[in-house]
Amino acid sequence: MTEALQNLNENLKRQVLLYEEFNNQEKDKQKALMENNLPEIEAITAREEQLLLEASCLEKERLLWAEHIGRDVGKAPEDLTLAELAEHFPALEEVSRDLDRVVGSLQEIHDINAQLLQQAMKIVDFTMGMLTHQEKNTYEHPRRKENEGNVTLHLLDRRI
């Protein structure tokens, strides 16, 4: 195995470990979202920012090794895929499978967390709508007469 290939393999292994850490953070975030634990969500988000910086550095390094391997194979680095490299270099098969597995799992957890956040935002929007100006009535005033016009009723009346 060439030096560039070994370095790429090591880089990808570090990326797998990093994405596994992302997975753990996303699972913790999911739990914090369900418990509505804002300080924990904030702490997890700060840790994820650090992990993103590390991932960015690893990705830059990976591109350098891909460029070296691309020259050896006769392809541009952006045209090389890990699956294709694993076919040519069996030493990359294991890390390729690991990376596919961990990124797939991360995507699933991230999608669920995104849905949880969207639901939380809908609840906030609904609550804010109830507490502030609304365009439609949610109930009829029991003593309201038809000739009083269409006065919108609010949970909190601004005139107070």
Residue 103 CA to residue 113 CA, distance in Å, equals 15
H/E element, 49: helix 38-73
Distance CA 113, CA 5 (A): 36
Is position 146 within any domain?
no
Question: Which of 74-83, 128-137, 142-151: highest mean pLDDT?
Answer: 74-83
Q: How many domains does the chain have?
A: 1
- The whole domain housing 89 covers 3-111
Nearest to 4 by CA among 83, 85, 64: 64
Q: How far is CA 36 from the centre of its chain?
A: 18
The Cβ of residue 102 has, within 10 Å, a number of other Cβ atoms equal to 19
Tell me the mean pLDDT in the region 18-45.
Answer: 93
First to last CA, the chain: 78
User: Position 52: which residue type?
Assistant: L
**Residues 77 and 70 sit within 8 Å (Cβ to Cβ):** yes
- Is 33 part of any domain? yes
pLDDT interval class at 144 (50, 70, 90): low
Predicted local distance difference test score (pLDDT) of residue 152: 54
Is the residue at 155 inside a domain?
A: no
Is the residue at 86 inside a domain? yes
- Asked whether residue 15 is assigned to any structural domain, the reply reads yes
| pLDDT value of position 57 | 96
Is 48 part of a structural domain of the chain?
Answer: yes
What is the percent of the chain with per-residue pLDDT over 90, rounded to a whole number? 48
Q: Is residue 151 part of a domain?
A: no
In a domain, 141, yes or no: no
